[in-house]
Structure 1
Amino acid sequence: MNLSGIVARIVALIGAAALLWRRLQGAAPEPAWGRAPVVPVAKPQGTIPTLKMPTARGWTDGQKPVAAPGLKVNAFATGLEHPRWIHVLPNGDVLVAESTQVQGPVRSVFGYAMQATMRRADALGVSANRITLLRDTDSDGIAERRETFMEGLNQPFGMALLGDTFYVGNTDSVVAFPYAAGADRIAAPGRKLIEFKPAGHWTRSLLPSPDGERLYAGVGSLTNIAESGMEVEEGRAAIYELDLARGTSRIFASGLRNAVGLAWEPQTGVLWTVVNERDGLGDETPPDYLTSVRDGGFYGWPYCYWGQTVDDRVPQDPTAVARAITPDYALGGHTASLGLCWLPAGTLPGFPDGMAIGQHGSWNRSTLSGYKVVFVPFANGRPAGPPRDILTGFLAPDERESYGRPVGVTLGPDGSVLVADDVGDVIWRVTGERQG
């Protein structure tokens, strides 16, 4: 066993002791979900935060996630290299961004331990920096053809196509490339539209406006609660709006620690996002969330959470706290909700209009959360009712191993729902039991 593995083992033992101690302090809180969640009072974890991540195992032959009643799931593509995000081209080709978090500078013993643990969980490694094209040539729900669509990128994540321009959200920029309809590959050089600070929360999701005139990009914070100062966080924890015709950009909304998935609610035309909240305050404190995004809105990070609940660990700005917006819908503590996709009613049998959410799964809580794909029903442009599971079974019952971790969610070219699984290295395809 190498040094990294030894440190990971030691951290696991320390973490187990810390977990036992915290469990002895009282019963686990109820999950913080819905429009009016009960968010427990913060219990700062200090220098030894709860650190619990399952070892990445992957799927055995024939094993797959558990689909909700009335649904079925099959592997659309396997053998990928850390697939994170999915984009479907007009001709039905499916693009997959293959990338991962890379090791950054280690600033403390805990930082080294965290990185060792993340490697064991397959959450840190060498990034493929590639976009792969998948094609289902015989319409059987399985991709028979696989091509390298783009390579040599910098932790690619979000993708968008508008006319003859293909956009990629690298960790350090949004880049525009010329695209020819039906092309199997893009090799031409790109043009940077905007540069971002890389590292930290490194994903850069992209979503065009319905009229195709603007592009929205999510940029996460560098740190948990700005513990390295606000100067390094400048321009981060925000959603950007890029005006493609004018070549300008601006921060559309801020105070969003790590806004990843972006989607439009079609009835109202409002932008929605899922956000990963801060760590170190307890199993359900604060919850990750799904929220509408107001132009100019501020959502609290790092000063406060779930509205105006002050985080005492952070030097305060009372003016910022006073204007913090309460999110619309809580998604549970530390679920790492990343993927977001609008599902029209009937996309999956028995499911109304709503949002599908890929929950990558927790590390900072005593009982793991997330590790599934959930659905939040909508009515009149707002969340309306309790969540429902779409896919579960990504986590072993004893929580020691993960078979997979869902990330991006999107509509497939055949009306299915496609899910990127970056531990199983699979794209899953979800349909009704009676569908093809």
Structure 2
Amino acid sequence: MKHLLLSGVAALGLVAASHAFAQTDDNMTKLQGMQSTGTSMDFKTIEQTGEYADQLRKNLESIELPSGFKIELYAVVPDARHIAVGPQGVATFVGTRKQNVWVVTDRDKNRVADEVKEFAPSIDFTIPNGVCFSKDGFLYIAEQNRVLVLPAAEFFYESPDVAVGVVVEKGKLVPTSEESFNHTARVCRIGPDDKLYISLGQPYNVPPPEKMDLYNREGIGGIIRMNRDGSGREVYATGVRNSVGMQFHPENGDLWFTDNQVDGMGDDIPPGELNRATEAGQNFGFPWYGGGNVRTNEYKDSEPPADAVMPEVEMVAHAADLGMDFYTGNSFPRKYRGGIFSAQHGSWNRTEPVGARVMFTPLNDDGTAGETEAFAEGWLAPSGEYIGRPVDVAMMKDGSLLVSDDLAGALYRISYEK
């Protein structure tokens, strides 16, 4: 009897799951046909006042910044990861490593968000970490194993239903055999060639040799690019362990990206990386190199590519360098203009934690990187406790800088007062 009961429950679970999947597929079909799904208008919203917001503001009193700068709480955003500021300045979209994309709105333009709510609740997302805009207003969302495009997201965000197109079908961004719980937070950018670029972290600390051919062919452990409709996919860069931040130089079009390096090699090696790709087809050395020119134990007897590109900047080991953006505004002092702001999430694989800060890297006249320095720090308390973990940075229309924090669940705004 017990066996029959359990079998019945399992069968009902399968039926319910099948029904849920069918509903999800049905919603996508309706949305692509510009039809209403009947999804409730009762949006999931996030409270922006109260004790939690007050405590986050108090925590920010510990953050150290250069003279003239200040940091404030912009929005409470659960699990906030990568940021896409709408080109019209109407709304900001925030990805997560869970199932939500959030839309953040400052309606009265007092530089503090008035509303944070779930975006497109009629769509079921899976790790929608990567959000990026085209200049003409198309929002791209790179999930664990799917890519969607949402035209006019800054218009449709008020509704539970949105215009949506499938750029890469579910299960086609990477082979389903390579779907993993590890290194699946994708990031995306639209390049100066109007193509869509997506980073594909590989699942391992160091991958076994038998995976190399597949990964090189698919662009896993690298960066791929494609036309904005998903056609013409190609591998742009290889030898990348797990990049979770990239941006194009606004003038020469070089693609700069961070890379998280091999764990388990000690506190001080290998270094984190800030890289520069100057053309398609470059190899950035992984898995032969664990970071910088530090060889991995697993591939120490294998000859690395002779033309492997070394990083422009070697960051402190295990700080977990993630999101980055070029500063193209004019509200910050001149020394910051044209340089790179990048977020260090903070280490887990280190006896003494490091990171949890925002870094700044100036660029030289020849396009190379200058000396990197800490810009905003203090989320790592003297006790070794994290009070926040920065993930991404993004410049707002007024030239201020947004910083996301997935530990505290927040967006912060850094501005400069002369």
Q: CA deviation at 1:360?
A: 0.3
1:210 corresponds in structure 2 to 192
SS at 1:289 equivalent = strand
C-alpha contact 2:83 2:95 (8 A) present in aligned 1: no
Per the normalisation by structure 1, the TM-score is 0.73
Q: Distance in 2 between matches of 1:403 and 1:59?
A: 11
Distance 1:60 1:135 in 2: 19
| Deviations, residues 18-37 of structure 1 (Å, cap 9, x unaligned) | xxxxxxxxxxxxxxxxxxxx
Over 3 Å counting, the alpha-carbon distance change for 1:179 and 1:317 in structure 2 is farther
Give the aligned residue type for 2:166.
Answer: R
Alpha-carbon distance in 1 for matches of 2:115, 2:90:
10
In structure 2, relative to structure 1, the CA distance for the partners of 1:307 and 1:322 (3 Å cut) is farther
- Aligned counterpart for 2:126 among listed residues 154, 173, 179: 154
Q: Does residue 281 in structure 1 map to residue 265 in structure 2?
A: yes
Give SS of 1:218's match.
strand
Relative contact order, higher structure (CA 8 A, sep 6+): 1
Deviations 1:223-264 (A, max 9, x none): 101159526755311000112367121110001001121111
Matches of 1:384 and 1:304, distance apart in 2: 21
2:191 is equivalent to residue 191 of structure 1: no
Determine the structure 2 residue equivalent to 1:333: 317
Q: Could you tell me whether the CA contact under 8 Å between 1:240 and 1:251 is conserved in 2?
A: yes
1:168 aligns with 2:166: no
Greater helix content: 2
- Return the offset for 1:375: 0.3
Which letter maps to 1:137? R
Q: Which amino acid aligns with 2:253?
A: G
* Larger radius of gyration between Structure 1 and Structure 2: 2
Between stretches 143-152 and 227-236, larger displacement belongs to 227-236
Q: How many residues align?
A: 346
Please give the alpha-carbon distance, in whole angstroms, between the structure 1 residues aligned to 2:105 and 2:261.
Answer: 36
Separation in structure 1 between the aligned mates of residue 73 and residue 255 of structure 2, nearest angstrom: 31
Q: Deviations over 1:378-404 (max 9, x none)?
A: 1225344322322111011110x2110
Residue ranges of structure 2 left out of the alignment (5+ in a row) = 1-53
Q: How far is the alpha carbon of 1:304 from its aligned partner?
A: 2.0
- Mapped to 1, the partners of 2:388 and 2:292 lie a distance apart of 33
SS in 2 for 1:351: helix
Question: What amino acid is the match of 1:217?
Answer: I
- Please state whether the residue corresponding to 1:142 is helix, strand or coil: coil
Matched, 1:62 2:35: no
In the alignment, structure 1 residue 300 sits paired with structure 2 residue 285: yes
Q: 1:302 to 1:180 in 2, by over 3 A?
A: closer
Per the normalisation by structure 2, the TM-score is 0.76
Q: Please tell me the root mean square deviation across aligned C-alpha atoms, in Å.
A: 2.4
1:179 equivalent in alignment to 2:149: no
Q: Tell me the amino acid that sits aligned with residue 92 of structure 1.
A: G
Are residues 180 and 265 of structure 1, via their aligned partners in 2, closer, same or farther at CA, if it must alter by over 3 Å?
closer
1:433–1:347 distance in 2 versus 1, CA, 3 Å: closer
**CA 1:311–1:180: 2 relative to 1, 3 Å:** closer
Query: Which structure dedicates a bigger proportion of its chain to strand?
Result: 1
Give the letter aligned to residue 149 of structure 1: F
> Secondary structure of 1:402's partner?
coil
CA distance 1:59–1:225, shift in 2 (3 Å):
farther
Identity %: 27
User: 1:414: which partner in 2?
Assistant: 398
Structure 1 residues 347 and 301, CA, compared in 2 at 3 Å: closer, same or farther? farther
Match of 2:37 in 1: none
1:345 touches 1:354 (CA, 8 Å); kept in 2?
Answer: no
CA contact (8 A) 1:308 1:324 kept: no
| 1:262–1:91 CA distance, 2 compared to 1 (3 A) | same
